């Protein structure tokens, strides 16, 4: 049986890789993305499905007629991750089987990032994932987000202007619009000031003062609640950008009309603490000098300096009803080191560590629209196709395409912001080590610092023409999905990592994690050779920040992959089955919300 595809022939056995049942639902999206001929393929694939009955076992990927598939190539005019993917709308896909909570609340997230429309790193994923988890538990949830100019409006459903009002900034009342729209099933209020704030082609780094812009945003969210009479149970703020909100709430809006809300702050990364001068804080209408005390918002390290500095994050910690950070180990680390530790110790009764989850609808290899073939624990042949697809597309498959040999080469991926926190020296070392060990490695990374960018550009120039390393310096959501699906190993060698999502997403897509033991990585990855913890073991862990420590973990991972293929396959299945979803941890947030509610 044969199916015509883009003028070529696809054998019946190849089409079995493409689950025909899913094809019926998703064919148009996927076929468009991979330039396949829709109608012909669909009809024959369905025909094939009906005659599939009785076939005992799927054959190996290497048995399939790879000539018949439209494989990508590095010389393609449009790179394979930029093909016309469908815009993926998960609106309808809130997990409906979730049991509803008995006490239902109204929760408003105030945030600088939200996936996928304004995502730079994990903050965006976490806000969207947690909001969706709480919605599916029956709560009313809104996200409030700056209306960045770079947001693609076609990704927002039912966008409409709902309120025109003024919000204060530096002696002026700025005309401001609030829009309502739906993103990934979540109602979102977009705040759009009529000044230059939030203009530019990126979420961060526009040509306006970020500190002032986010202080404006923090007040504009409260002002919007006041003018519309919105009194949520919980205002959940995130990071330094919204650190002024708890102060503004308790020292200003609570004396005006907002009485009911209680404030929860999540700190995703303590490195950024919102350094601010007194007169800058005054721009949002507070008297900045009032907050320059040890027990309020002064940056402890600057006491006695001229001028002293304030920290929006510290003010947020002091003024919030509860403070959460994103893993229990990071909580311990932050109580022991860093200048904020004394503030956190003083506030330890309201300080909690909750490990992040991942949104398993958005990160799901069995439905992911960016993949050329879907897969799951029961049927992992599709993962091989994804690996070979990426290898072909990036020129990592040899010219004569000996599929079996190509697939046997371990493929390591590292998907990250290129900043010091992420262990840049270990990433560059891993590139050399993986090459030496005969593996392949793909780095997908974006640097905001020009020096780091140049360093990685030089590396890319010298290695990207070779047979085993690809360094891709950009942000691409689509490519990240393809790489997680293709990977045998996901590398996260961070110097510190509050939680880390890459290792959890990687596991869901069948990539075994190799990580440094720090923060949330220590809470989610457990070493294969740890005799005391066989049940939890799921990856390869190292502790030192030196190259030898990393080598040791990589060597063990490669030896396991090569010498124990059956055990490796079991490990892949085990990591895919692990539950790192928000279902597991959203309940802990709900408990904290309930504990601060006004009864
Ligand atoms: P952080 O929040 O410190 O950036 P996390 O591991 O918590 O780190 O979250 C990173 C998120 O951003 C993951 O979803 C990861 O896949 C994604 N990501 C990081 N860099 C890139 C990139 N260059 N292209 C696409 N996605 C990226």
Six token digits for residue 180: 């309502």
Shortest-distance atom of ligand 1 to CA 421? 3
Q: Is the pTM of this model over 0.95?
A: no
What end-to-end distance do the CA atoms of the chain give, in Å? 67
Which residue lies with its CA nearest to atom 9 of ligand 1?
122
pLDDT at 94: 64
Shortest-distance atom of ligand 1 to CA 444? 23
Yes or no: say if 21 and 42 are a contact pair by the CB < 8 Å rule: no
pLDDT at 14: 30
Distance 415 CA to ligand 1 centre (A): 6
Which residue lies with its CA nearest to atom 22 of ligand 1?
475
pLDDT at 92: 46
Distance 416 CA to ligand 1 centre (A): 5
Whose CA is closest to 182, among 89, 86, 104, 105? 89
pLDDT along the chain (599 residues), means of 10: 29 29 34 35 27 34 62 94 73 67 97 96 96 96 98 96 98 98 97 98 96 98 98 98 98 98 98 96 97 95 88 98 98 97 97 97 94 94 96 86 87 98 98 98 96 98 96 97 98 98 98 98 97 93 98 98 98 97 95 93
Distance 290 CA to ligand 1 centre (A): 38
pLDDT at 88: 60
Residue 525 has a CB neighbour count (10 Å cut-off) of 28
Q: How far is CA 452 from CA 424, 445, 446, 473, in A?
A: 9, 11, 9, 11
φ/ψ (deg, to 5) at 527? -70, 140
Residue ranges lining ligand 1, Cβ < 6 Å: 121-123, 125, 415-417, 444-446, 475-477, 480, 499-502, 505
What is the b/e burial string over 104-121, where b = at least 16 CB atoms within 10 angstroms of the residue's CB? ebbbbbbbbbbbbbbbbb
Question: Considering just the CA atoms, what is the radius of gyration of the chain in Å?
Answer: 25
DSSP 394-457: TT-S-TT--HHHHHHS-EEEEEEE-SGGG-HHHHHHHHHHHHHTT-EEEEEEE-SSHHHHHHHH
Give the separation between CA 408 and CA 334, rounded to whole angstroms. Answer: 42
Six token digits for residue 527: 């070493």
Which residue lies with its CA nearest to atom 20 of ligand 1?
416
pLDDT at 175: 98
């Amino acid at each position: 049986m044969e199916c015509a595809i883009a003028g070529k022939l696809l054998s019946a056995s190849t089409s079995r890789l493409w689950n025909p049942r899913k094809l019926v639902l998703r064919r148009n999206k996927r076929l468009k993305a991979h330039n396949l001929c829709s109608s012909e393929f669909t009809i024959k694939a369905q025909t094939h499905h009906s005659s599939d009955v009785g076939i005992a076992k799927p054959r190996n990927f290497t048995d399939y007629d790879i000539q018949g598939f439209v494989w990508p190539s590095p010389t393609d005019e449009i790179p394979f991750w930029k093909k016309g993917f469908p815009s993926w709308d998960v609106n309808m896909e809130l997990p409906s089987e979730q049991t509803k909570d008995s006490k239902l609340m109204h929760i408003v997230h105030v945030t600088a990032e939200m996936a996928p429309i304004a995502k730079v790193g994990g903050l965006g994923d976490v806000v969207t994932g947690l909001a969706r988890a709480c919605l599916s538990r029956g709560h009313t949830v809104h996200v409030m987000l700056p209306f960045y100019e770079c947001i693609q409006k076609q990704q927002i459903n039912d966008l409409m202007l709902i309120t025109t009002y003024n919000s204060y900034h530096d002696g002026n009342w700025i005309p401001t619009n609030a829009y309502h729209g739906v993103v990934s099933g979540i109602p979102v209020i977009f705040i759009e000031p009529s000044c230059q704030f939030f203009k530019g082609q990126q979420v961060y780094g526009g040509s306006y003062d970020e500190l002032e812009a986010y202080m404006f945003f923090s007040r504009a969210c409260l002002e919007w609640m006041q003018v519309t009479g919105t009194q949520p149970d919980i205002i959940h703020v995130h990071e330094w950008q919204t650190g002024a909100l708890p102060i503004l709430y308790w020292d200003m809006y609570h004396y005006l009309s907002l009485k009911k809300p209680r404030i929860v702050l999540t700190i995703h990364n303590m490195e950024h603490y919102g350094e601010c001068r007194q007169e800058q804080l005054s721009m949002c209408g507070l008297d900045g000098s009032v907050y320059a005390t040890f027990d309020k918002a002064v940056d402890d390290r600057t006491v006695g300096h001229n001028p002293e500095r304030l920290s929006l994050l510290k003010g947020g910690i002091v003024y919030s009803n509860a403070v959460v950070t994103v893993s229990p180990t990071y909580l311990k680390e932050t109580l022991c080191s860093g200048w904020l530790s004394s503030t956190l110790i003083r506030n330890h009764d309201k300080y909690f560590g909750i490990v992040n989850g991942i949104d398993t609808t958005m990160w799901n290899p069995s439905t992911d629209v960016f993949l050329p073939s879907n897969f799951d624990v029961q049927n992992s042949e599709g993962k091989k196709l994804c690996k070979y697809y990426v290898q072909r597309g990036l020129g990592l498959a040899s010219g004569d395409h000996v599929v079996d040999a190509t697939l046997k080469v371990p493929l390591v991926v590292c998907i990250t912001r290129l900043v010091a926190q992420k262990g840049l020296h270990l990433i560059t070392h891993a590139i050399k080590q993986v090459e030496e060990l005969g593996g392949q490695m793909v780095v997908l990374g974006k640097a905001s610092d020009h020096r780091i960018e140049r360093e990685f550009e030089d590396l890319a120039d010298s290695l990207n023409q070779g047979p085993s390393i690809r360094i891709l310096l950009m942000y691409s959501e689509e490519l990240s999905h393809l790489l997680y699906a293709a990977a045998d190993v996901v590398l996260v060698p961070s110097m510190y990592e509050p939680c880390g999502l890459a290792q959890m997403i990687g596991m869901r897509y069948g990539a075994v994690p190799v990580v440094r033991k720090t923060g949330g990585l220590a809470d989610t990855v457990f070493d294969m050779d740890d005799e005391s913890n066989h049940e939890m073991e799921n990856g390869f862990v190292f502790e030192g920040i030196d190259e030898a420590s990393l080598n040791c973990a990589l060597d063990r991972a490669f030896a396991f992959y090569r010498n124990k293929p059956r055990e490796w396959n079991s490990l892949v299945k085990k990591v895919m089955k692990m539950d790192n979803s928000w279902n597991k941890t959203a309940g802990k947030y709900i408990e904290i919300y309930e504990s601060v509610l006004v009864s």
